[in-house]
Amino acid sequence: MLNIVDTQNNKLQIGFLVVIAATILAVWPFLSSPSLPTGTDAEIHIFRAAQVEKSITEGILYPRWAPDFYYGNGYPIFNYYAPLAYHLAAYYSLLTGFGVVAGSKFVLILAAFLGSVGMYMFVAKRWGRVEAMIAGVCWCYSPYIIFLEPHARGEIAESLAIGISPLVLWLFDQVRNTGHKYHIVLAALSLAAVILSHPLTALVTYGFLIIFLLWEFIITPLTLDDSSKSINGGTVYSVTIAVILGLGLAALYWLPAGFEREIVRMDYYGIGHYDFRRHFIELSELISPAIWSDTGAAFPVFNFSMGSVHVVLAIMGVATVFNRHMRRLDTLLMTLGLFGATYLMTDASQGLWEMIPPMRYFQFPMRFLGSAALAIVPLCGLSMAWVKNVKNDFIKNVVPSVVVGLILFSSFPLMYPPEWSDFGEVNGQRYHRDELQGKWFGTTCCHDFVPVDVQLIPDPDPYITEQYLDNRVYIEKFDRQSLPSGTIIEVVSSNSESDIYYVSSDNEFTLRMSRFYFPGWEVMIDDEQWPFEISDPNGRIVINMPSGEYQLKLSFEATPIRSVASLISLFSLVVTIVVLLFGFRDTNVYGSSENEGSPIIYQLALLVVLAAMVIKYIGGVGGWFQYHSAGRNVHVADYNTFAVVEDELELLAFDISASDVHQGGELSLVLYWKANVVPTRNYQVYVHLRGEDGTIVGQSDKINPASYPTSRWDTSKYVADNHTISVSENASTGLYQFHVGLWDHLTGERFLAFDVNGWLLGESIPIDHTIYVTE
């Protein structure tokens, strides 16, 4: 295993310290600000972590059921959604007492350090420590990793999986190289961890790992001298054991998730906003620099980019294959990986996405920015091969620190995410209130993983709502209003996966539970299994109850496949311990490369990182690397305007992609809105492209302007409302104008707009910009 301590002076390698310091700077917004923001997916991940924490405190160490979502009906999200991030957040909360919000922040910070350290180790062992230093810094400053995932999207689980991915490559490379028992165990644990963190990221990482191992076992030996061409059977065996153990350890998750996929709903995947066809990325955006954020904006604007400096460095790394002294086969592998990930993010790959139906589960092609980082970052490190081949010591010593400086400087706009306020309480009362407000249901976008028998989400039960809003410890999850007169039902005990009731009734009756049915739920009356029905169309448990006095128990038990999966994971854990205790021999197959370079290289780079920390602090105080729109000024807009609707929403500015468009073409229009008071309703927005005679040749409609309900807009921030307008192929050539209006889709009412002087504009706002339609 690579030693991060220099044996000569018994101190940490300075290059490794550079990567650690750079990572601290990258995660500084999390370290310096309490809580986490709402309004991103971090919110739903925190709620899931809280449900896991609740189950753990009840003695349920691996919960599959989230009891409080869907108005208290619960659903089996943890049977399908990888739970490791939530368990880590929950145990952090339980051990420290700081709560699951702090626990979720811990997971994000942990992911950043795991990724940086893992990439440093992987590259140092294969290519050298100077390359590793550059790669480690490039990893934590990849735009997707430093900003898009943790801040813009709030994807806690996916961030963790991406952070573990470099560790998987490094540890399996170590197994391939040595076959040592410690490497086998750690590699197996890393593979299990990435699977348990995020299934889609795990699928890509696992695929890349298999290709990497096949490449190293089959392709690489063909280029070595005759004495080294044979494949070492011992290390092949060790790698196979590590893969099997990793899959086995995670079997308690992926086996039921796969075999029980047909008993939950996933029919909304790939529809509407979640159709992958709507989210391909232009190549120009993938290589673009970071955008300055605007403190006056409600939501940050960003590019889905691999990083402009990263791309330049990667090109230099790829170019080493054309120099016979620097040429390496693994460079070619990383290059192919980068091209593959880039291809999958652009519309050139649409045919492939459509050819492979499961690809729709990825939803957003930009997810492959994470796998692109696995390939592009080692290539960035390889760019230093050109520097190391230069005979001038000054260039050798200075250029790496210059490169570190360029990476950091290009990333400064990403180091200032929007400020956030306190997250607030995390409890059943809040889940229920948010669902009542229509903010989300079950913490998924499209009713994913709701039991298949639930064809219609039932309305909230008033009595259950009352209990949740009162924040009661035990929630009675049945229809009390339908009970016959004189019937008594009292809660004896209740937890996430079990309810016990005392029942007394003079008559037989039907008890309608407010629990969705899902295989595993069982009903017992006085220790005797009792039949039940499933209501249609809301999929709830319905029990025909006998008369008399007895105990009713509902419990969520393991199905055969879940039991088998748990046994496989338990057996794999035992084998892992056996390997750790007895192990395999330690052999070195292909050697390693840990070329150190002059100490001054790392010292200068460390000074650059420390200087960046100072600049980051001063920039935060001085407002550098950001725009600061305030009032009715929108700094980033191309054109200013003004109109007010219902004395609540103001249109402040707009952008238009072009003034000319051909028949059948498309135009992009960005509207900048701001609420001057908290809106009294959720407005809908339309955009019409009209001719002088009122003919509409193109339009865009949205349920929510800026895809966010207006009743929840922050009155101190503007929102950017993006529209794409397709022009009719039958449109006559000539001049046209955009008209924008707000309306209520429930009543059909269109609201009047007024200009800055209070003059009536009508039911729509004319955009003061002429569009010319050509053939």
Condensed to tens digits (0 to 9), the pLDDT of residues 538-575 reads: 999 999 999 999 999 999 999 999 999 999 999 999 99
Q: Which of 150, 366, 361 is nearest to 274 (CA)?
A: 361
Do 690 and 604 belong together in one domain?
no
Which CA distances in Å does 287 have to 144, 381, 657?
12, 18, 20
Do 580 and 553 belong together in one domain?
no
What average pLDDT is seen over the chain? Answer: 92
- CATH code of 700's domain: 2.60.40.3880
Task: With a cut of 90, say whether residue 597 has pLDDT above it.
Answer: no
| Count of domains observed in the chain | 3
Contact between 166 and 118 under an 8 Å Cβ cutoff? The reply is: yes
Domain end position, chosen among 557, 581, 604: 557
For residue 19, with 0-12 CB atoms within 10 Å meaning exposed, 13-18 middle and 19 or more buried, which class applies? buried
**Going by C-beta distance under 8 Å and a sequence separation of 6 or more, which residues neighbour residue 638?**
653, 654, 655, 656
Question: To which H or E segment does residue 330 belong?
Answer: helix 329-345
Within a domain: residue 44?
no
Task: With a cut of 50, say whether residue 256 has pLDDT above it.
Answer: yes
From CA 384, how far away is CA 422, in angstroms rounded? 44
Which CA distances in Å does 340 have to 244, 269, 318, 352?
27, 24, 14, 12
- CATH code of 492's domain: 2.60.40
Residue with tokens 């294969």: 126
Within a domain: residue 442?
no
Do 270 and 397 belong together in one domain?
yes
Residue 589: which pLDDT band, with cuts at 50, 70 and 90?
Answer: very low
Do 690 and 607 belong together in one domain?
no
Amino acid letter, 518: F
Do 201 and 257 belong together in one domain?
yes
More confident residue, 597 or 594: 597
From CA 349, how far away is CA 717, in angstroms rounded? 37
From CA 500, how far away is CA 491, in angstroms rounded? 6
Radius of gyration from C-alpha coordinates of the chain: 29
Within a domain: residue 709?
yes
Q: What pLDDT, on a 0 to 100 scale, did the predictor assign at position 224?
A: 62
Task: With a cut of 50, say whether residue 1 has pLDDT above it.
Answer: no
Do 458 and 414 belong together in one domain?
no
Do 696 and 749 belong together in one domain?
yes
Do 581 and 551 belong together in one domain?
no
Do 529 and 583 belong together in one domain?
no
- Beta-bridge partners for 699: 688
Within a domain: residue 629?
no
Q: What pLDDT, on a 0 to 100 scale, did the predictor assign at position 241?
A: 95
Tens digit of each residue's pLDDT (9 = 90 or more) over 683-716? 999 999 999 999 999 999 999 999 888 988 999 9
Within a domain: residue 631?
no
Q: What pLDDT, on a 0 to 100 scale, did the predictor assign at position 5?
A: 57
From CA 731, how far away is CA 734, in angstroms rounded? 9
**Going by C-beta distance under 8 Å and a sequence separation of 6 or more, which residues neighbour residue 576?**
185, 188, 189, 245, 249
Residue 10: which pLDDT band, with cuts at 50, 70 and 90?
Answer: very low
Contact between 549 and 503 under an 8 Å Cβ cutoff? The reply is: yes
**Going by C-beta distance under 8 Å and a sequence separation of 6 or more, which residues neighbour residue 336?**
none
Q: What pLDDT, on a 0 to 100 scale, did the predictor assign at position 278?
A: 87
- Beta-bridge partners for 668: 724
Mean pLDDT within 719-745: 95
Tens digit of each residue's pLDDT (9 = 90 or more) over 80-121? 999 999 999 999 999 999 999 999 999 999 999 999 999 999
Do 234 and 364 belong together in one domain?
yes
Within a domain: residue 503?
yes
Do 163 and 273 belong together in one domain?
yes
Domain range for residue 461? 453-557
Q: What pLDDT, on a 0 to 100 scale, did the predictor assign at position 227?
A: 46
Do 532 and 580 belong together in one domain?
no
Within a domain: residue 204?
yes
**Paired tokens of 407:** 């990476």
Mean pLDDT within 756-768: 94
Within a domain: residue 511?
yes
Q: What pLDDT, on a 0 to 100 scale, did the predictor assign at position 232?
A: 63
Q: What pLDDT, on a 0 to 100 scale, did the predictor assign at position 590?
A: 45
Tens digit of each residue's pLDDT (9 = 90 or more) over 506-534? 999 999 999 999 999 999 999 999 999 99
Strands 11-12 and 548-556: unpaired
Phi and psi, residue 492, nearest 5°: -90, -50
Predicted TM-score of the model (pTM):
0.92
